[in-house]
Amino acid sequence: MNSSTLRQLWALIEETQTSTLLKFGDAELVQQLLRRLQSKITMSGEEVNIMNNYLNSKVSLIRDLAQNGAF
């Protein structure tokens, strides 16, 4: 995963409405974000798996930032 992809991911998260970030369960949120990212950039199967693992490890952070109005 390169820095450009990470920047795009976090920009996408920031663009996402807070209600969307908070209403889905963890797995569904990760899948929603992955789908949105894949619509913007092309990723290999390995990159998708890496991004999936990364997002799963950051779900709590994403929710905390959304709840605190950081986006």
Largest CA distance in the chain: 34
Q: CB–CB of 48/65 below 8 Å?
A: no
- CA–chain centroid gap for 50, Å, is 12
pLDDT at 21 over 80: yes
User: Cα(13)–Cα(16) distance, rounded to whole angstroms?
Assistant: 5
Q: CB–CB of 34/48 below 8 Å?
A: yes
- Cα angle 34, 22, 54; round to 5: 35
pLDDT digits (tens, 9 = 90+) for 34-64: 999 999 999 999 999 999 999 999 999 999 9
